[in-house]
Amino acid sequence: MPTKANTPAPVAPAAETLTAQLPVPSRAYLTATVDEASGEVVERPRFKYLPGHPRQIRFDGKAGCFNIGGGDILGKSLTFIPLALRVFADDLFNMGRKVWAELFYADEKGIVCGVLFHGYSAENLQHLNADLFYDDLHLTDVQLTATAVKKENKKVGGSYFIAEFSFQAADPAEVQARREFAEDFDLYREETLTTTAELRILTGYRVPDRYQLPAEPEPAQLPAA
């Protein structure tokens, strides 16, 4: 008696095949889609940034929190992968000459933000930078968390907050996206640009050609053994 041939069930396309059909963006910070009408590949940046005017994030050393431009409170800690940064000494906002740390990052909505630290907070970031150096890492290679920590002023009484920094490994793809964005865009804040800054650390920070950025000092290094 003839037997009925078994018809193989249709095989779904492999996930690899479907993925291969998606357009690959030319830069890691871009997304690529295909326009259904024209069939052309359209690329759009994941990050939103008006050059020279990042969203201002403030660290309130009195209240011990971060806020958006002095308004909406973000909490007592801030976690991000830096796009660019600089540590420098300068007189900003008529506060006298201080050591500042200025960092730029993209928040969860892709908005490019800038945040400033000074005094002990900036020193803490420099200490972390030194620790990372001996692990062959930069501050832009990791996910940073800045946390407000309360301190007591024993001389005059009262308390204040400084930022302490910790880090953990960051997704290499996200680090690459930010590195390429910093290569393609000038990352700076117009209100903090001066000709009197003494640069200490500079990574990814870049200004337009019309501005003159002070030269970064070459770090002294011991000869290799």
**pLDDT tens-digit profile of 24-72?**
899 999 999 988 888 888 999 999 999 999 999 999 999 999 999 999 9
The pLDDT value recorded for residue 130 is 96
Query: Where do the domains of the chain lie?
Result: 18-45, 55-203
CA distance 58 to 62: 12
Token pair listed for 98? 């201080």
SS3 183: helix
SS3 1: coil
3-class secondary structure per residue, 14-61: CHHHHHHHCCCCCCCCEEEEECCCCCCEEEEECCECCCECCEEEEEEC
The pLDDT value recorded for residue 19 is 47
Structure letter (DSSP) for residue 207: -
> Is the dihedral angle over the CA atoms 134, 136, 138, 143 positive or is it negative?
negative
CA distance 144 to 81: 6
Report the Cα–Cα distance between both ends of the chain, in Å, rounded: 85
At residue 49's C-alpha, the angle toward residues 170 and 202, to 5°, is: 55
| pTM for the full predicted model | 0.83
The pLDDT value recorded for residue 13 is 54
The pLDDT value recorded for residue 205 is 95
**pLDDT < 70: residue spans in the chain:** 1-20, 212-225
